[in-house]
Amino acid sequence: MNNLKVLDVTLRDGGCVNDFNFGQIYMEKILAAQEASGVDIIEMGYIDENKGSKSGRTQYIDETVIPQCILKNKKPGVTYVAMIDYGKFDIDKIHFKAENGIDGIRMAFHKKNFLDIIPLGRKLIDKGYKFYIQPMITLRYSDAELLELIEVVNKELPEASGFYIVDSFGEMRPNDMSRMLNIIDHNLIPTMALGFHSHNNLQLSYSNVMSMLQFPTVRDLMLDCSIMGMGKGAGNLNTEILIEHLNLFYGKKYKVAPLLEVIDKVINQIHDEFYWGYAPEYYLSSANHCTPSYASYFYNKHMLPIDQVGELLGLISEEKKISFDKNYAEELYRQYNKGKTVDDSAVVDELKLEFHDKRVLLVAPGKSISIYLDMIKELLEQKDLISIGLNMDLGFDYILTTRIEIFAQAVSDGKKIIVPSNIAKGGRGNVRVLDYKNWIEVDDRTHDSSAVIALKLLQTCGVKNVLMAGFDGFSININENYYDSTMRHPVSFEQAERRNKYYSNLIARTVETGINIEFITPSKYE
């Protein structure tokens, strides 16, 4: 019977969730649980000379800091490895393997670099390390390309400890597994172990591993997993689930209890702050065969409904799907929203006349609205004031919306609406359409929220006095951000800080144009 080994990637792939900032205490607790569970191989993290650290993180500046930082006492029988992404570390700087250091290095690389990793693997093997070959997005290799890689590995790196199928985008299905297993098992030298690293975008990690276990081979197998599936996006195969299965059906003696304990005391706390697991956007990334980073980026703008996120992912060019390019993503997003040019000059002229010599009450859907609702409704009765609700309606003169569902409801209710052209291509009756590209702001990101459009519009219309309500600012507490709970979206600390900084700056710049702004509800932007 083939030898089965479990490789736990929590400290490495799990670190993609929190930028590897586990902190020393959590790092040590996770490692202790991994060792106590009896998993065969533990991946300590990444080695990266540009982004690595000397302590507190599982992204290390070099391999020598790993025993100093965390691997202070190696457990007999356990293999300790680290990963290097091709091009992220000069292999010549790796020292010869030390007894108290890592035992092996896994090298991840894209298809275009598969010949380049051969001499690097040779150097690492010659320095005493186990070497594992990790062809990212293995599904992208044609049969001929995969056979070429295997042939080179057989000839130049026969001592390598493992060759992997890597499902980087979580897009593989059982028929894909069958194709890969047949090609590799029948052509890779029989002494080399075959591994599988999965992502759970389609919830098929467990199913695909079962297919691998049932494949008729005598070759040694390595199965990657992480505690509670901790990993970027949809996450990975769960270690605790895998090892229970191996105990039940393959005669293994792994211990689940230490993993459950560290889930309770450590991993759950991280999960509360940094979400991973199934989400529709990660399914869409797999369906469109691209890195989930695009799906997360577009979805986390909270500007497009999920079906349009899917449409946008379908527009990504093949050469851009493999690695996330923020500038490309922003340009694609803008082009998707621009659509056909709309002449909005008549609309602007009409609004100028209507807003002339009027104060404008601008109401955003912050949670403070519920406290100050009576005061806001009293203001709506004043004759010299025009009210505009941003993606909400409390009886305002206008609704300015950037959301399709709110636009549709406002049309059905017969409301007066201001809407960008990416939402409504044409206007009639109470609908006033603004050309999308004229009312957004672009720096390193595209800012096209209702607040951005509203403030630019009021400035253009010559409004001098603006009352602002509901501009509370963003909090990482999802329950503190919106008056209407159905509008809630989770935001990370970084997202909240970035948005608050941007809107504070936007309002300050608006004041500099000569507009007097008065906050009538508490705001982080005051």
Is the pLDDT reported for residue 306 higher than 90? no
Per-residue model confidence (pLDDT) at position 72: 92
What's the total number of domains in the chain? Answer: 3
**Alpha-carbon distances, residue 504 vs 450, 452, 510, 511 (angstroms):** 15, 12, 10, 11
Cα separation, 283 vs 55, in Å, equals 35
Quote the Cα angle for 464-420-368, to 5°.
60
Q: How high is the pLDDT of residue 494?
A: 86
Tell which residue, 152, 82, 81, 170, has the closest CA to residue 111: 152
User: Do residues 64 and 189 share a domain?
Assistant: yes
How far is residue 41's CA from residue 44's CA, in Å, rounded to a whole number? 10
pLDDT at 1 over 60: no
For 381-419, how does the pLDDT look when each residue is reduced to its tens digit (9 = 90+)? 998 999 999 999 999 999 999 998 999 999 999 999 999
Q: Per-residue pLDDT for 426 more than 70? A: no
Q: What is the CATH number of the domain that holds 365?
A: 3.40.50
- Other beta carbons within 10 angstroms of residue 516's beta carbon come to 12
Task: Tell me the residue range of the domain where 261 lies.
Answer: 4-272
Residue 297 included in any domain: yes
Model pLDDT for residues 211-237, shown as the tens digit of each residue = 999 999 999 999 999 999 999 889 999
- The C-alpha R_g of the chain, in whole angstroms, comes to 28
- 408 and 327, same structural domain? no
Hey, what are 467's tokens?
Answer: 């009352």
pLDDT in tens, 85-133: 999 999 999 999 999 999 999 999 999 999 999 999 999 999 999 999 9
Buried b (16+ CB within 10 A) or exposed e, 97-115: beeebbbbbbbbbbbeebe
Does residue 524 fall inside a structural domain? no
CA 116 to chain centroid:
29
Rounded to two decimals, what is the model's pTM? 0.82
Residues 380, 296 share a domain: no
Does the pLDDT value for residue 50 go beyond 60?
A: yes
Q: What is the DSSP string of 341-366?
A: ----HHHHHHHHHHHTT-EEEEE---
Q: What is the CATH number of the domain that holds 221?
A: 3.20.20.70
